[in-house]
Structure 1
Amino acid sequence: MPGPMLAVTIKESLEQGWPAGIFITTGHAAAEIALLFLFALGLGTVIKVQWITAVVGIIGGIVLIIMGLDMLMGAIRNRVGLDLNGGDKPAGQVTAKSIGRAVGAGVIVSAANPYWIIWWLTIGVMYVAEALKYGWLGLGCFYTGHILADYVWYVLIAVIVATGKKFLTAAVYKWILAGCGVLMVILALYFSLQGIRAII
């Protein structure tokens, strides 16, 4: 399903090459581990309170709006660049800064997406309960399988985008980046409106 993770994966893969898919998913995986830990401490019960869920939606929407507008303005103001000489970048061009940016983006778009939290509170918690019937080993196997599926999907997207960029012009790249920004803003506005409706 199109969402913030997909938009960020496309953007970073065009700029960093296919390894961005690994880094973004690693950030996503870290956010999921943290969320599961917080659920174990009782956050799941607290966040089911309607007004808290609404606030999470509004704050998450604001964060995603900022990220989306940054993408959009980067394309409009020509603040973006793209190496169009090949499908992926040499390993030496993947820097600690770019890795940190991609991992951080994975964490932020996950934590700022209220539907990600809702998924874990509804569907995810049922899977966790079933996995816990087999103890911590069962939970570990569930999480490993779940996150491996994420890695396969987003790395596949990253490979397709990175290898396909050789067919892009700079203008097309800017339109793709702008489209990702618009998608992010639309999703963010939807999340925020859902949060506001929950309050009123």
Structure 2
Amino acid sequence: MVPIIELIKALVLGFTIGISAALIPGPMMFATIGISLKKGWKAGLYVFSGHALVELGIFMLILLGAVSIIGESMISYIAIIGGVVMFLFGLVIIKSAKEAARTDIISSATKFDITSGPVSAGIVTSILNPTLIIWWLTAGSAIILQEYMTGIIAVSAFIAGHWIADAGFLLAVSSSFSKGKELISPRTHERVLYICGGFLAIFGLWFLLNYNDFSSMI
């Protein structure tokens, strides 16, 4: 039986990582806004479904492929690389918070060429996002493997938290912009990015300091 505190930790971690990535303006956000301006508030849910399909495939590859051949030295290696990447991502988010919060999102979204449906847009903007792939191959895989050592239900809690953040944010974006309103003020956006970036940097350091604990679990 997985302790409830471990499930809560996995859920919160998944949510925080999800919202940290979602708040950085990028192709998926621009696609969501552009589609919502034309098709209404449901666009966020459709874009998320495409994004979730891509991530589900990545999760399955990590669990079915890596877990079956992973060894003690490899766990330590993944934890170290994952910690470094998480720490650097946190610093990047902090450094770019002010600029990201002040991005002219409406202007960028209307210039974003959307030639496919919302589900396809979610798939394409995910597959062609090198940051997403790098994240899940390093820090993301380290986190998933760590949760897997606790139990598959912990992995499910992490994924659930991550997808709640993704779906909730994209739905909030499409609902807000379909009505011609800005989701949050630039100042609030900036503050949230600082908090999320700090969380990721701290958790990355924790990974680096505890990588031996991960290898001892297998």
**2:173 pairs with 1:121:** no
Distance 1:70 1:102 in 2: 23
**2:207 pairs with 1:182:** no
Q: Do the aligned partners of 1:74 and 1:80 also contact (CA within 8 Å) in 2?
A: no
Structure 2 match to 1:16? 31
Structure 1 match to 2:35? none
Structure 1 match to 2:59? 32
Aligned residues: 176
Render the CA deviation track for 1:112-171: whole Å, top value 9, x for unaligned: 2443331123222x789xxxxxxxxxxxxxx9xx97997677435422331123363487
TM-score normalised by length of structure 2: 0.56
Structure 2 match to 1:53? 79
Structure 1 match to 2:39? none
Q: Equivalent residues in 2 for 1:93-132 (5 A)?
A: 100-103=124-127, 104=129, 105-111=131-137, 112-113=139-140, 114-124=142-152
Q: Do the aligned partners of 1:72 and 1:182 also contact (CA within 8 Å) in 2?
A: yes
Letter paired with 2:53? T
DSSP-derived class of the 2:106 partner: coil
Give the 3 Å change call, closer, same or farther, for CA 101–159 of structure 1 in structure 2: same
Q: Do the aligned partners of 2:84 and 2:205 also contact (CA within 8 Å) in 1?
A: yes
Give the 3 Å change call, closer, same or farther, for CA 54–97 of structure 1 in structure 2: same
Q: Cα offset for 1:99? A: 5.0
Structure 1 match to 2:175? 163
Q: Cα offset for 1:101? A: 3.7
Q: Cα offset for 1:35? A: 0.8
Give the 3 Å change call, closer, same or farther, for CA 65–20 of structure 1 in structure 2: farther
Q: Percentage identity across aligned positions?
A: 8
Letter paired with 1:81? I
91, 98, 108: which one pairs with 1:65? Answer: 91
Give the 3 Å change call, closer, same or farther, for CA 147–4 of structure 1 in structure 2: closer
Q: Do the aligned partners of 2:48 and 2:170 also contact (CA within 8 Å) in 1?
A: yes
RMSD: 4.5
